[in-house]
Amino acid sequence: MPTIAVVGCGIAGDEAAFAARRADPTARVVVFTAEPDPLISPCVLADYVAGEIPRERTVLRRPGEYARAGIELRLNDPVREWDPDRRELITDSGRFAFDRVVFATGSRAAFPDLPGVDLPGVLSLRTLGDADRMRRAPAGRAVVVGTGLVGVEAAWALRERGWDVTLVGRRHRVLPRLFDEPIAGRLAEALERMGIRLVLGESPVEVLGTGRSERLRTSRSTYPADLVVFGAGQRPQAELAAAGGVPLGPSGGIATDPTMATGLEGAYACGDCAETVDRLTGRRGVFMLWNNARLQGRVAGRAAAGAPARFPGSLGVSTVHAGDRAAASVGLPAAEHRDGSADLDHQVTPDGEITLVIRNGRVVGAQALGNTARLGGLLGAVLRHVQAEPLVRNPPAWAVRLRALRAAGRLKG
């Protein structure tokens, strides 16, 4: 009976454990986590902070579900180190022997190396503990740094709680890695309608305060800040695996192959700590999105149990709500193609707006505002590079539009 150890219990570790158990019901599957709860959804932390859902709704799986599946769950028992030669994990409770190990250690907030970031009142929105601290804090003046997904969601949540919110971004548009103009502009307008003050084109310099956060100084100005939330980036937590000789990739994540195996026999990795291949561009990197982690976990768990499985590659599919506007994107925005080779086709539709990102005559990305279900059909177009018509969502309209682009010589295939 093989013993499969899973280190970490986010969505990737959770999926890996259950997949391993299904693939080999005779295997002993043990999950180790430093957290007091198993699976938490980071996707709803902002909703909890905003008061939209109770705390218990952030927990997606209870300990009893693991026990019923025959999975051993070790809460509050972090793995401190490991011995790959002896195949042992060392935790606070002792040594644990394994046959195969799956690293699902996730990521952590990337706080900048600036004066004052260690002051009380400075945090991110990555964990349930972060959300608890934001919920407990009395409403005052908050500065959120970073206009990506985490920053926008944190700003929205705090504003819903009655905070005076300033959202600071280094780039000159919100959600720059997801949207081009004009959709990015529409989302910025929605945030401003909520009463969020947008400050673009400025970078944080230091957090000021006596004993706790009081102000944030940027490259251009200073803003009152009883709370400073850094939402600009995250890093893979790969140090534990690397300490045992598991190779890392250029991104800093654990290098994996399509079975989620690492460069060390018997060791697998999945989720935010794992480096994989972008399905659209072929570029290697860490792609920290829920669905990527979920699918990687399933593959890693099956592979660790000796069953066939392959991960097709990561996809950058994201959805966001900014005030009263919903938007979704897949692939890089045209502005993020640094060589200027990408073109845009933007259309206003009866139920929203849609933008196609076109490069070398192929659809390589899409963005939707309003009816985000449209992205389902366009994802097919992106994955097939418009070799066939996308027929998943509202097929007649998009078949006509894609044919029109071909007729104009803007698309191939």
Q: Give CATH for domain 122-230.
A: 3.50.50.60
Average pLDDT for the chain: 89
**Domain ranges (residues) in the chain:** 3-43+52-107+235-304, 122-230, 331-407
| Phi, psi torsion values for 381, nearest 5 degrees | -65, -40
Looking at residue 205, what is its pLDDT? 97
Q: Which residues contact 204 (CB under 8 A, 6 or more apart)?
A: 112, 114, 145, 168, 216, 217, 218, 230
* pLDDT at 12 > cutoff 70: yes
Looking at residue 365, what is its pLDDT? 84
Q: Give CATH for domain 3-43+52-107+235-304.
A: 3.50.50.60
Strand partners, 6: 31, 102
Give me the mean pLDDT over the 246-257 stretch: 96
* pLDDT at 374 > cutoff 70: no
Q: What is the band of 378 on the pLDDT scale with cuts at 50, 70, 90?
A: low
Give me the mean pLDDT over the 77-93 stretch: 96
Residues 190-211 as b or e (16 or more Cβ within 10 Å = b): bbeeeebebbeebebbebbbee
The residues that are catalytic are: 43
- How does pLDDT run across 96-132, given as a tens digit for each residue? 999 999 999 999 988 999 999 999 999 999 999 999 9
> Residue type at 274?
A
3-state SS, residue 239: helix
* Cα–Cα distance, 160 to 47 (Å, whole number): 9
* pLDDT at 35 > cutoff 70: yes
Entry pTM: 0.88
Instruction: Indicate if 122-230 has the same CATH topology as 3-43+52-107+235-304.
Output: yes
CB atoms within 10 A of CB 409: 8
* Cα–Cα distance, 47 to 53 (Å, whole number): 6
Q: How far is CA 139 from the centre of its chain?
A: 27
Kind plus residue range of the DSSP H or E element containing 145 = strand 141-145
Strand partners, 326: 321
